[in-house]
Structure 1
Amino acid sequence: MTRPRILVVGAGFSGVECVRRLERKLAPDEADVTLVTPFSYQLYLPLLPQVASGVLTPQSIAVSLRRSSKYRTRIIPGGAIGVDLRAKVCVVRTITDHLVDEPYDYIVLAPGSVTRTFDIPGLTDHAFGMKTLAEAAYIRDHVISQLDLADASDDPAERASRLQFVVVGGGYAGTETAACLQRLTHAAVKRYPRLDPGLIKWHLIDIAPKLMPELGDKLGRSAQEVLRRRGIEISLGVSIAKAGPEEVTFTDGRVVPTRTLIWTAGVVASPLMATLGAETVKGRLAVTAEMNVPGHDGVFALGDSAAVPDLAKGDGAVCPPTAQHAQRQGRKVADNVIAALRGRPLEPYEHKDLGLVVDLGGKDAVSKPLGIELHGVPAQAVARGYHLGALRTNVAKTRVLTNWMLNAVAGDDFVRTGFQSRKPATLKDFEYTDAYLTPEQVRAHVGRTQPQRS
């Protein structure tokens, strides 16, 4: 008899934690484990703004999936673009654009999320995202190139547009991105004697009435004070009306000349969830507290793409899309897959959030560990201690810590790599959201290539 096939989709926090636990707990001949991911690394997403600002190197937060000598999971380099639940087949588009049908007995869906966009004229054509390692590296090159081009230009209008930067999204990603990149330009402009530092302007806008409301009023105000003290202009209750190559129009009527629009206004579940034809909750796949999909044996979903009931809060709440929940859900799903494999009862996921950390760069941070509100150096110590603890390998911890120490002592060299020079690099170029199939296309494709199961 062939061994049961366990297919894990996604190498984010939840997917990797699931695979690692399956490898530890399953006997070598008990099941075959396969992981679908376009990249053979786990991205530590919370530190992306520090890659964009040059504090950390890209390699330091890209944790290799193949580093362990005991790693025995088969990796398919590609992205899942459709799942036929009836035939138990996942359709994968490899990195060479070939379609592969991957049959499974148990599937764990952890494809994560994509940047949430709206029908705003010019947005996807002119905005940059902050969701992938490539985007963070590109944004760093782009921001430094704006300083280079402004320094070389004798046109005041061009200088003004190149030295204004707009970040949309007052959540953790947007706030940290604006804070870290503002520090980058503030330090870099000292190397450009022809540029007036007063021309550099950063705008952080959000349609919500508060910045990072999850932190509470006190810490939210503290974060705003830090940013405003640095000269970042914060506009709340405001969004983008339209975006162009050289200017952005706000919903309050202001027109800001800029060549840099960074969009971090939230995330939505991966489009893969829509290919299943199963029930969703605001785009996230509806699952039980055990994280299995009702009516489909052997199908589990977790992380950003699943509406996992938050039993700690109750009242129909679902777990927020945070790394903290994703990691713990990954371990619990692995236990439940093994339980299903061995004919044992599944266990529900329950975890109380341990708190939040926001690193604003330098000595500035706000944190709320276990409900205790901190700001300044104590909050920064908590934030960086949390990140070091959450990184999966000692090599990654060492690289990040070394980068922090080196940056604190030696500063930055403000070097552009030029790896993606002259290539499209806006939102629509990085997340491949048009690659997914419809449920009908999935069934038609699988029907042509696979015998249907009864």
Structure 2
Amino acid sequence: MNTVTRPRILVVGAGFAGVECVRRLERKLSPDEADVTLVTPFAYQLYLPLLPQVASGVLTPQSIAVSLRRSKKYRTRIIPGGAIGVDLKSKVCVIRTITDQIVDEPYDYIVLAPGSITRTFDIPGLTDHAFGMKTLAEAAYVRDHVIAQLDLADASQDPDERASRLQFVVVGGGYAGTETAACLQRLTHAAVKRYPRLDPGLIKWHLIDIAPKLMPELGEKLGSSAQEILRRRGIEISLGVSIAKAGPEEVTFTDGRVIPTRTLIWTAGVVASPLIATLGAETVKGRLAVAPEMNLPGGDGVFALGDSAAVPDLAKGDGAMCPPTAQHAQRQGRHVADNVIASLRGGPLKPYVHKDLGLVVDLGGTDAVSKPLGIELRGLPAQAVARGYHWSALRTNVAKTRVMTNWLLNAVAGDDFVRTGFQTRRAARLKDFEYTDAYLTPEQVQAHIEGAGRQG
């Protein structure tokens, strides 16, 4: 078959959903059956649930960044950049490469798995002074920043400055926020022993959330167990509270408290990638509304999945949507690949149905709470399940070996407190890691495509 006539399958995003889709397409499609292209700024898949352990130094960054080029059978073309617009009528995806070049990529089938970005609100100073925990760069940067606060507090002669540098605020009582607070608190608790001039009692961690419960998905008993573990460690938990404003040296809570701090970590949920808004299609709370088969109703060859798609959860029913979790994204990726192939070959599409396998929360050390298949576990059994699940979900044996080696080394040798140098003299905050201003509006996409057509 001539390469010009081969169907073009474009996959946007290299998260759990996108990578699983690409791998399935490679395995099931013959090389002359279709051309597969992947759009991603980085040629690796990030195992997002383990980011808090990178921030705390338990794992090295490369251990959870799984290269997309390790397989010798890999034949997918990678465009290093991010999709900033899609014209469904012309079947063209507009891409901004990592060198800021604008590229128009035509497709016959497009799989939209651009993931999500950190959800923020119109809170004064938030994006200027808060850190996120969504990317590998942010995790590495936060680690450097936290250790730097200990160094600077130790060197300071000002009691007020010392106190503010040793207070840390994490916003978000979901899995990301809870695990981030738990892992980083363990890091500072261990590190302060190497600073004889610092009073360990000055180190204070605050975990706050506007919701009335911490991780409500865990249920009443496990949620209470997680809170008890964190409070026993000295983490102050405030529920029904959020941030009123943020400054460079203090944070004001909505209950009126003012906390002197140089560290605000924002993990209060995610929203769909702004790419979805460029389509001009129907959305559900910002996520693209798709059929149970994960195709866009009325869209020619358009599929969407993962955090950016409102996929009906047929296992739950009652109009429920699949939650933005890794286990759903991985299974949706494989299912979408099968449906794309079925569409390509003229076969029927199948609806996505998957029941949640459970939840795991790793709080560091021997502390964890897990709910596999509805069974509530705490302590070492829960830790074994949590780490066993994460370890088995890693895609390559190299990644599994690195993660297991890091865990064993940390268990034997303890934490290290080396700053890697990612933190430069120029501060980097939430707004610096997510390029939300790079996306086009539907009108801009159409104008761009029409302009490119006239030039062509």
TM-score interval (norm. to shorter): over 0.9
SS at 1:434 equivalent: helix
Aligned mate of 1:58, from 57, 61, 73: 61
Q: Which amino acid in the other structure matches residue 95 of structure 2?
A: V
Residue 437 of structure 1 is matched in structure 2 by 440
Please tell me whether residue 317 in structure 1 is matched to residue 325 in structure 2: no
2:429 — aligned with what? 426
- Equivalent-residue separation in structure 1 for 2:330 and 2:131 (angstroms): 27
2:241 paired with 1:238: yes
Partner residue in 2 for 1:14: 17
- SS of 2:437's equivalent in the other structure is coil
The answer to whether the 8 A contact 2:80-2:97 is kept is yes
Question: Once the 2 structures are TM-superposed, how far is the Cα of residue 423 of structure 1 from its aligned partner?
Answer: 2.8
Instruction: Give distance in 2, aligned partners of 1:390 and 1:423.
Output: 36
- Per the normalisation by structure 2, the TM-score is 0.98
CA distance in 1, matches of 2:170, 2:294: 35
The residue number in structure 1 matching 2:120 is 117
CA distance in 2, matches of 1:384, 1:308: 28
Give the count of matched residue pairs: 452
Per-residue displacement from partner, 1:165-189 (whole Å, max 9, x unpaired)? Answer: 0000000000000000000000000
- The amino acid that maps onto 2:265 is I
What is residue 185 of structure 1 aligned with on the other side?
Answer: 188
1:299 to 287, 298, 302: 302
1:156-175 correspondence runs (5 A)? 156-175=159-178
- Matched to 1:234, the amino acid is I
Identity %: 89
Displacement of 1:412 in angstroms is: 2.0
1:347-390 Cα distance to aligned partner (Å, 9 max, x none): 00000000000000000000000000001000000000000110
Work out whether 1:348 is the aligned partner of 2:348: no
Question: How far apart in 1 are the matches of 2:78 and 2:22?
Answer: 11
User: Residue 145 of structure 2 contacts residue 423 of structure 2 at CA under 8 Å; is this kept in 1?
Assistant: no
Q: Counterpart of 1:101 in 2: which secondary structure?
A: strand
Question: Secondary structure, in 3 states, of the residue corresponding to 1:450?
Answer: helix
Matches within 5 A, 1:204-223: 204-223=207-226
TM-score (norm 1): 0.99
Letter aligned with residue 409 of structure 2: L
Which whole-Å deviations, capped at 9, do the CAs of 1:128-181 have from their partners, x for residues lacking one? Answer: 000000000000000000000000001000001000000000000000000000
Using the alignment, how far apart are the partners of 1:328 and 1:82 within structure 2? Answer: 26
Q: Pick the aligned partner of 1:198 from 186, 190, 201.
A: 201
DSSP 3-state at the match of 2:438:
coil
How do 1:279-294 residues align onto structure 2 when only pairs under 5 Å count?
A: 279-294=282-297
Q: Distance in 1 between matches of 2:197 and 2:423?
A: 27
* Per-residue deviation, 1:451: 7.0
**Deviation string for 1:91-121 (max 9, x for gaps)?**
0000000000000000000000000000000
Letter in 2 for 1:164: Q
Structure 1 letter corresponding to 2:355 = K
Task: Tell me which residue corresponds to 2:101.
Answer: 98
**Which secondary structure does the structure 1 equivalent of 2:428 belong to?**
coil
Distance across 1 between alignment mates of 2:226 and 2:31? 50
Distance 1:164 1:197 in 2: 11
Q: Is residue 29 of structure 1 aligned with residue 59 of structure 2? A: no
Paired residue type of 2:207: L
State how far apart, in whole Å, the 2-side matches of 1:312 and 1:417 are: 45
**Distance of 1:145 and 1:231 partners within structure 2:** 21
Letter in 1 for 2:158: D
Matches within 5 A, 1:361-376: 361-376=364-379
Cα distance in 2, alignment partners of residues 89 and 424 from structure 1: 37
Are positions 1:398 and 2:407 aligned together?
Answer: no
Q: Where do 4+ consecutive residues of structure 1 move more than 4 Å?
A: none
Contact 2:140-2:422 within 8 A present in 1 as well: no
Q: Distance in 1 between matches of 2:454 and 2:25?
A: 29
Counterpart secondary structure, 1:66: coil
Which residue number corresponds to residue 46 of structure 1?
49
User: Whole-Å Cα distance in 2 between the matches of residues 426 and 279 of structure 1?
Assistant: 32
Letter in 2 for 1:207: I
Segments of 5+ residues of structure 1 without an aligned counterpart are none
Which amino acid counterpart does residue 176 of structure 1 have in structure 2? Answer: E
Structure 1 match to 2:410? 407
2:280 counterpart residue number? 277
Q: Shift in Å at residue 273 of structure 1?
A: 0.2
Q: Secondary structure at the match of 2:265?
A: strand
For each residue in 1:52-100, what CA deviation from the matched residue of structure 2 results, as whole angstroms up to 9, or x when unmatched?
Answer: 0000000000000000000000000000000000000000000000000
- Equivalent residue letter for 2:267: T
Quote the Cα distance in structure 1 between the aligned partners of 2:174 and 2:390: 18
Mapped pair 1:261 → 2:264: yes
Amino acid at match of 2:446: R
Letter in 2 for 1:187: A
Task: Determine the C-alpha separation between the residues in 1 that align with 2:426 and 2:367.
Answer: 35
Structure 1 position 420, deviation (Å): 3.4
- 2:210–2:240: 8 Å Cα contact kept in structure 1? yes
AA at the equivalent of 2:221: K
2:371 partner letter = K
Give the distance between the partners of 1:151 and 1:424, measured in 2 at CA. Answer: 20
Matched, 1:3 2:2: no
1:383 pairs with 2:386? yes
